[in-house]
């Protein structure tokens, strides 16, 4: 069994990931040079809006893209996933890494009982007998907080409420004790009171099992609640990466700043109008040469001609910003206060390693 | 049979534009194994008033009946019982033809702009149609359509484009322009920003806020996002399983919620602030919202309520004043801060 207890091998290490889809008419670069790591027992929040590439990234880690050109490196506990055969991958999927999707109903088969579906992975990966696997499924349902688990295991997905279904999907994902859990908008389809339950459940299971969690979400509130580190994506690229407190206290990328300023908060006074980001997220089909955020960036718009030209023409690379922090921006926020100019920033992303 | 949620908070005044009493909607339930279908009570005795120029937020989780309520107010759904009075006229039983003069004052904005705009029509056509129905000439309607685009921050030169040529935020601006076309006095907005990207939501929230002030609109803002509602509304009504469980001035409801459900709902909203999140005490409710097909006895919140007593299981609480500022809550044990 490959070990992820060695301190120098992170649980999941993604380097310079590129995912490209070819259609007859065009080639779409959905993810363009993303790098990150997820450590055991930690949660990385992958934040972005529609089209930012966050879900494409998570599907690439799981090896779920059928017709995509993928390059770079995805290593799970030191083992390169991109060079594995389909068969090798399917032995890892559900076993070492598992995924929870936004819509629990589409992740469950309507014609099998919930118990059968949870038992199936156990039987497949461990060769467990039918009875033992069923007993384990009941235990798992109990562990994710489903009352009367023995009875509920015999029910079908349609007999479960939305929150219960997502609990069942989590039970299924964790039934083979994976090291990595990828959760793609796991609470977006749920009500806010149920969302609170599910987030709490994932946090508890993570602590008990030392799970590495990759949490994909568009909700900065969810990120603030569960993530240890955050990667903000925009237009298929990394905008910035930081420990969660640093990111919210002092965002470095103008996009992150703009996002934080534009969401209404429950604990805010509400007299001033919300600050907005002009325009809408970019189309991946017609990428621009420079920073994907440049057309909406007020900082670029207010800069001198020469610097503005850099923003629109030259792609910013993720660069060292502060310990544990990277930002891909020609005009990051807060740099003057630190006494360095944008040109002093170290290139490329060696610091992140 | 009376399901009255008790009389609405504010007494009828001259400025009351919309008055809703005992509003109820039941849908036929599904038949199971030959047993007769039970009826699903989606909205159960909702009552409130809305003054001219006022903004009321209607919040709650999925299935609480907030959208059904909104649709009944503009007569997209027929109420099973109760009355809707607009400008002192009972419109509950008007025929669609009789309703036409009122329609121009009573408009709606929907959640998904692409689904609510006809993809085969140009923007000009979409915006002109309500005006043509109201008897304007084609020329005047097109002129007004251009004005409307400008009003919602779009380029009037784009009149001859189709909805798919616009981004989600722009398409929602068109939906708003359409609602404004006839010069309404009340707009019912059903989740108008929840289908939009986070960075675009603020634009639409600001636009609605500006229009509401400039045009003196009354707005019924239906949403599940409590932060957005707090931002835009004067008053807020919290619904649970078809009933209003708390209603009042937004500062009273948000700063000192009286109903345990409102308290739990507010404490469940994640704050975009990790330090505040760690400090916070959360009330995590057990279970899911119950199905309106089989509502619990007594107070329908009692199975999830940390304060529930025997009386809560047996007796349904009516809306009653809690504290000052005209706030009401339907709870046997409300928190009076």
**B168-195 pLDDT per residue, tens:** 999 999 999 999 999 999 999 999 999 8
**pLDDT on residue B198:** 86
DSSP-derived secondary structure for A190-218: S-HHHHHHHHHHHHHHHHHHT-EEEEEES
- pLDDT class of B137 with cuts at 50, 70, 90: very high
Instruction: Give yes or no: residues B264 and B232 share one domain.
Output: yes
Min mean pLDDT across A186-190, B76-80, B265-269 is at A186-190
Does residue B213 sit in the same domain as residue B307? yes
- The confidence band for B32, taking pLDDT boundaries of 50, 70 and 90, is low
Does residue B229 share a domain with residue B315?
Answer: yes
Task: Band the pLDDT of A350: cuts 50, 70, 90.
Answer: very low
The last residue of one of the domains, among A177, A212, A229, is A177
For residues A172-195, give the mean pLDDT.
92
Give the total number of structural domains in chain A: 2
Least confident window among A257-271, B51-65, B241-255: A257-271
Per-residue pLDDT band at A66 (split at 50, 70, 90): confident
Are residues B151 and B62 part of one domain? no
pLDDT at B138: 94
Among the ranges given (A115-124, A200-209, A295-304, B286-295), the one the predictor scored with the smallest mean pLDDT? B286-295
Q: Is the ipTM of this complex over 0.90?
A: no
Among the partner residues B168, B272, B285, nearest to A193 by beta-carbon distance: B285
Same domain, yes or no, for B196 and B83? yes
Beta carbons of A224 and B274 less than 8 Å apart:
yes
- Asked if the C-beta of B260 comes within 8 angstroms of chain A's C-beta atoms, the answer is no
The total domain count for chain B is: 2
Q: What is the pLDDT of residue B10?
A: 47
Predicted pLDDT of residue B285: 87
pLDDT band at A247; cut points 50, 70, 90: very high
The CA distance from A293 to A302, in Å, is 14
| pLDDT given for residue A112 in this prediction | 96
pLDDT above 60: residue A7 = no
- A170 and A261 co-located in one domain: no
Residue whose tokens read 């890892």: A92
Q: Which residues of B touch A274 (CB under 8 A)?
A: 202, 205-206, 231
Domain span at residue B220 reads: 16-28+39-105+184-329
**Do B189 and B280 lie in a common domain?**
yes
- Share of residues in chain B with pLDDT > 70 (%): 93
Phi, psi of B320 (to 5 degrees): -145, 155
Facing residue for A244 by CB, picked from B271, B274, B286: B274
Are B174 and B195 contained in the same domain? no
A223: nearest CA partner in chain B: B272
Q: Can you give the pLDDT at residue B74? A: 94
Give me the half-sphere count of Cα atoms (radius 13 Å) on the Cβ side of residue B98.
Answer: 8
Residue A218, pLDDT above cutoff 90: yes
Q: Which residues of A touch B168 (CB under 8 A)?
A: 280
Q: Which residue of A has its CA nearest to B231?
A: A270
Domain boundary among A177, A198, A225: A177
**Tokens 């004052």 correspond to what residue?**
B105
Is the model more confident about B322 or about B290?
Answer: B322
Is there a domain that residue B197 lies in?
yes
In this structure, are residues A77 and A9 in contact, taking their beta carbons and an 8 Å threshold?
A: yes
- A248 vs B273: CB contact, 8 Å cut-off? yes
- The C-alpha atoms of residue B245 and residue B260 are separated, in whole angstroms, by 10
Regarding beta strands A229-234 and A237-243, do their DSSP bridges make them parallel or antiparallel, or are they unpaired? antiparallel
Per the CB < 8 A criterion, the answer to whether A143 and A137 are in contact is no
Does any domain span residue B319?
yes
CATH number at residue B212: 3.40.50.300
Structure tokens that stand for B303 in this block = 């199975």
A259 shares a domain with A170: no
- Residues B256 and B3: their CA atoms lie apart, in Å, by 27
Q: Region B196-212: what's the mean pLDDT?
A: 91
CA angle B328, B42, B300 (to 5 degrees): 55
In this prediction, residue B337 has a pLDDT band, given cuts at 50, 70 and 90, of: confident
B195 in the same domain as B299: yes
Q: Are residues B94 and B226 in the same domain?
A: yes
Name the residue facing A162 among B169, B276, B288 (closest C-beta): B288
Structure token digits, residue A58: 């998570």
Distance CA A274, CA A254 (A): 16
Asked if B169 has any chain A CB less than 8 Å from its own CB, the reply is: yes
Tell me: pLDDT of B29 over 80.
Answer: no
The number of residues making up chain B comes to 337
**What tens digit of pLDDT does each residue of B1-18 get?**
444 454 444 444 568 999
B226 within domain boundaries: yes
CA quadruple A126, A39, A245, A334: dihedral positive or negative? negative
Question: Among the three residues B139, B166, B181, which one is the final residue of a domain in this structure?
Answer: B181
Does A46 reside within a domain? no
CB–CB of A193 and B264 under 8 A? yes
pLDDT of residue A345 exceeding 70, the answer is no
* Structural domain range at position A294: 253-352
Give burial (CB, 10 Å; 0-12/13-18/19+) of B133. middle
The verdict on A151 touching B (C-beta cutoff 8 Å) is: no
Domain identity same for B68 and B165: no
């Amino acid at each position: 069994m490959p070990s992820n207890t060695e301190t120098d091998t992170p649980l999941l290490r993604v380097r310079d990931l590129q995912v490209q889809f070819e259609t007859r008419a065009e080639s779409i670069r959905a993810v363009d040079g993303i790098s990150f790591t997820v450590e055991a027992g930690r949660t990385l929040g992958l934040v972005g809006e529609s089209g930012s590439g966050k879900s494409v990234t998570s599907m690439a880690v799981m090896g779920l893209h059928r017709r995509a050109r993928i390059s770079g490196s995805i290593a799970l506990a030191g083992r390169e996933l991109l060079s594995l055969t389909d068969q090798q991958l399917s032995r890892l999927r559900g076993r070492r890494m598992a995924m929870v999707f936004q819509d629990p109903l589409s992740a469950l088969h309507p014609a099998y009982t919930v118990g059968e579906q949870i038992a199936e992975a156990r039987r497949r990966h461990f060769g467990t007998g039918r009875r033992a696997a069923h007993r384990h499924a009941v235990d798992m349902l109990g562990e994710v907080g489903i009352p009367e688990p023995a009875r509920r295991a015999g029910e079908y997905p349609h007999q479960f409420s939305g929150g219960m279904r997502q609990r069942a999907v989590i039970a299924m994902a964790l039934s083979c004790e994976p090291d990595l859990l990828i959760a793609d908008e796991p609470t977006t389809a749920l009500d806010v009171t149920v969302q609170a339950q599910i987030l709490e459940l994932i946090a508890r299971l993570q602590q008990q099992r030392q799970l590495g969690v990759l949490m994909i979400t568009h909700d900065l509130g969810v990120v603030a609640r569960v993530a240890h580190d955050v990667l903000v994506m925009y237009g298929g690229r990394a905008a910035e990466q930081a420990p969660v407190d640093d990111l919210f206290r002092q965002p470095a990328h103008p996009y992150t700043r703009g996002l934080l300023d534009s969401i209404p908060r429950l604990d805010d006074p509400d007299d001033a109008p919300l600050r907005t980001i002009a325009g809408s997220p970019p189309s991946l089909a017609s990428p621009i040469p420079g920073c994907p955020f440049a057309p909406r960036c007020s900082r670029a718009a207010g800069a001198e001609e020469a610097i503005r030209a850099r923003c629109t023409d030259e792609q910013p690379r993720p660069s060292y910003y502060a310990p544990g922090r990277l930002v891909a921006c020609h005009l990051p926020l807060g740099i003057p206060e630190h006494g360095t100019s944008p040109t002093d920033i170290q290139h490329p992303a060696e610091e992140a390693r | 049979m009376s399901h009255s949620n008790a009389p609405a908070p504010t007494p009828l005044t001259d400025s009351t534009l919309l008055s809703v009493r005992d509003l109820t909607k039941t849908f036929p339930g599904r038949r199971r194994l030959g047993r007769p279908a039970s009826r699903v009570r989606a909205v159960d005795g909702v009552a409130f008033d809305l003054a001219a120029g006022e903004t009321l937020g209607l919040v709650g989780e999925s299935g609480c009946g907030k959208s059904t309520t909104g649709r009944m107010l503009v007569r997209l759904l027929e109420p099973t019982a109760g009355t809707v009075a607009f400008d002192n006229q009972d419109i509950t039983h008007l025929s669609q033809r009789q309703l036409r003069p009122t329609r121009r004052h009573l408009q709606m904005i929907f959640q998904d702009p692409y689904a609510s705009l006809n993809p085969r029509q140009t923007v000009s056509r979409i915006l002109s149609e309500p005006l043509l129905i109201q008897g304007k000439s084609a020329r005047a309607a097109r002129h007004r359509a251009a004005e409307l685009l400008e009003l919602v921050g779009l380029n009037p030169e784009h009149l001859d484009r189709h909805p798919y040529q616009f981004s989600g935020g722009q398409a929602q601006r068109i939906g708003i322009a359409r609602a404004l076309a006839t010069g309404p006095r009340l707009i019912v907005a059903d989740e108008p920003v929840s289908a939009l990207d986070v960075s675009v939501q603020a634009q639409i929230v600001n636009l609605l806020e500006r229009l509401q002030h400039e045009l003196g609109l009354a707005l019924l803002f239906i949403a599940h996002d409590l932060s957005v509602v707090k931002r835009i509304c004067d008053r807020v009504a919290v619904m649970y399983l078809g009933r209003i469980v708390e209603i009042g001035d937004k500062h009273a409801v948000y700063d000192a919620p009286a109903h345990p459900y409102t308290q739990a709902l507010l404490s469940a909203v994640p704050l975009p602030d990790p330090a505040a999140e760690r400090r916070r005490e959360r009330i995590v409710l057990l279970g899911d919202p119950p199905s309106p097909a089989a509502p619990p006895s007594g107070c329908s919140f009692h199975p999830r309520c940390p304060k529930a007593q025997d009386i809560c299981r047996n007796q349904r609480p009516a809306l009653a004043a809690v504290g000052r500022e005209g706030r009401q809550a339907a709870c046997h044990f409300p928190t009076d801060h």
